[in-house]
Amino acid sequence: MSADQNRPESGAVKAELDELMRLFFGAFTNTDGPPRTERIHEVCIPRATIISQAGTTSVVYDLDSFVAPRQKILTDGTLTEFSEWEVAERTEIYGSIAHRFSQYRKAGIQNGERFEGSGHKTTQFVRTPAGWRISSLAWEDGT
């Protein structure tokens, strides 16, 4: 645990980081209407990097290349009733940078078949003039 995590203002920072993650996960939910993928640009810095990791294989995305295919499948009927949520997390705050390790679950209907899954995300944050934002995120499903 960092020294910053023991300071009173770290509770406010942690709450802001919690909200960023809630908005990130919620941007791709289509259980209560269309997904809100435009929120990704609100919670991330403009040049954020998002990485899908599967064993030793990495797929690196910028924001637009990450959002576009997900927006399509979440709105064209391919992926319905989809949601993803954190089930556990560990956050470390160091001044104007922070790191979070998350466990998540997800569920939905893809191509007519119900599914459930889980995985891990690692997220880095930076404090900007507009507040805290995600600078990078990497995930691995099913571990």
pLDDT of residue 10: 78
Number of compact structural domains in the chain:
1
For 70-90, write each residue's pLDDT tens digit.
999 999 999 999 999 999 999
pLDDT of residue 21: 97
pTM: 0.89
At 36, which CATH number?
A: 3.10.450.50
Q: Which of 9-18, 29-38, 100-109 has the lowest mean pLDDT?
A: 9-18
More confident of the two residues 61 and 142: 61
76 SS3 class: coil
Torsion angle (degrees, nearest 10) of CA 130, 140, 62, 73 = -100
Q: Which domain holds residue 131?
A: 3-141
Average pLDDT over residues 19-32: 95
Neighbouring CB atoms inside 10 A of 111's CB total 10
Q: What is residue 95's predicted lDDT score, i.e. its pLDDT?
A: 94
* Predicted confidence band of residue 143 (pLDDT cuts 50, 70, 90): low
